[in-house]
Amino acid sequence: MKYYISVDGGGTKIKAILFDENLNLISSAASGSVNPNFSSQETIQRNIEQCFTELLQGLRICEAACLYVSTVGQAGQIVETLRKYVSVNAVDEVGEYSSGMYAAYLQKEAVIAISGTGSGVFYVRGKDAGYGVGGWGALISDEGSGYYLGRLAALAAIRSYEKRGPFTILTELIMKHFGYDDFREALFSIYGGDSQVRSVASLSHAVREAARLNDEVALEILRTNGLLMADQTKAVLRNAGIPENVPIRVMGGGFQTHITMYNAYKEDILREFPERDIQPVIFEPVVGNIVRHIWVEKRGLDAESLKQVKINFAQFLYQITS
């Protein structure tokens, strides 16, 4: 029996799946950030090791036929660390945006819009990400990202707290999120954390809860973030001259925060490009790499394989909160 490993690593977490040649899920694991823009090398290494220890715990597997890895700049470190646990016969580095295309069960081309801890929109063909916008990092902006969403939430909560803006329950929810009874202490706790960017991005959880309570400030923040992602997507469509039949797919935890962000994104694009096919991806990116494996083995994607992956990896279906 051959075994394969898929790894997806980003600013919030690293996820790994061990699966066999029959596309059966053997085990899965997750740990913290592996993005050097957000975390120290020491933290990244610890997170990678923790992920692989959990993935392979109690299993007598000494060889991986192939490692499919999608990450921002840490592929070499991930491969080197995995080889401390098992021998790795081959490595297939899948670009972050290409992984998104496979997560949508597409094999030729797509426009992929990512709102994760960071953000960006790229036109993808096969394993190559062509023209794109965004991805400037949190210190510059990362408009439309989970980080930007959290930043907007913090600003709105501050304005409400200081009584110079509309009331929002976000102030209370942010205190609850960080475990403080005092709002100032809650926000200033961000500065002492291991990853300030990740801490700000985590405020998307407070935005989700506030949106479920119909907090208008939170809903407007979600709409604003959706429009920022739409603006980037429209720039790609205009500037790259992308054919009308090329689908647009969205992914990342930002979009998953609440359906309001996705709806604002989709509606804005369709006003200018009414014929575009816009949908979320089917799977989380870590399963996108498994779809990549299917394509490598079969040189194509078929309906039966899609059905099998949906059943065997149901816990990794991409879902947007409503």
pLDDT in tens, 128-158: 667 899 988 888 889 999 999 999 999 999 9
Q: Quick one: 193 and 118 in the same domain?
A: yes
Q: Quick one: 143 and 268 in the same domain?
A: yes
Q: Quick one: 155 and 89 in the same domain?
A: no
Q: Quick one: 163 and 17 in the same domain?
A: no
Q: Is the pLDDT of residue 268 over 90?
A: yes
Residues 6 or more apart whose Cβ sits within 8 Å of residue 22: none
For residues 38-65, give the mean pLDDT. Answer: 91
Classify residue 265: in a domain, yes or no.
yes
Determine the pLDDT at residue 266.
98
Residues 6 or more apart whose Cβ sits within 8 Å of residue 249: 100, 101, 103, 104, 106, 110, 111, 112, 113, 278, 279, 280, 281
pLDDT tens digits along 242-256 = 999 999 999 999 999
The candidate with the shortest Cα–Cα distance to 288, out of 251, 259, 257, 261, is 251
Q: Quick one: 211 and 232 in the same domain?
A: yes
CATH number at residue 112: 3.30.420.40
Proportion of the chain above pLDDT 70, given as a percent: 99
Whether residue 57 contacts residue 64, with contact meaning beta carbons closer than 8 Å, is answered with no
> Which structure tokens are listed for 154?
């913090």
User: Which residues are 4's β-sheet partners?
Assistant: 19, 66
Find tokens 């690593």 and name the residue: 9
Q: Quick one: 88 and 119 in the same domain?
A: no
pLDDT tens digits along 286-297 = 999 999 999 988
Q: Quick one: 79 and 218 in the same domain?
A: no
For residues 59-86, give the mean pLDDT. Answer: 91
Determine the pLDDT at residue 129.
67
Classify residue 52: in a domain, yes or no.
yes
Write out the residue range of the structural domain in which residue 237 sits.
Answer: 107-281
Q: Is the pLDDT higher at 193 or at 64? A: 64
Amino acid at 46: R
Classify residue 190: in a domain, yes or no.
yes
Classify residue 288: in a domain, yes or no.
yes
Q: Quick one: 63 and 131 in the same domain?
A: no
Determine the pLDDT at residue 127.
62
Average pLDDT, the chain: 93
pLDDT tens digits along 10-42 = 877 899 999 999 999 999 999 988 877 777 888
Classify residue 322: in a domain, yes or no.
no
Q: Is the pLDDT higher at 144 or at 198? A: 144
CA angle 33, 184, 196 (to 5 degrees): 15
Q: Quick one: 135 and 276 in the same domain?
A: yes
Q: Quick one: 269 and 291 in the same domain?
A: no
Q: Is the pLDDT higher at 166 or at 142? A: 166
For residues 278-304, give the mean pLDDT. Answer: 92
Band (pLDDT 50/70/90 cuts) for residue 279 is: very high
Classify residue 295: in a domain, yes or no.
yes
Determine the pLDDT at residue 39.
78
Q: Count of domains in the chain?
A: 2
Q: Quick one: 64 and 184 in the same domain?
A: no
Classify residue 243: in a domain, yes or no.
yes
Q: Quick one: 128 and 226 in the same domain?
A: yes
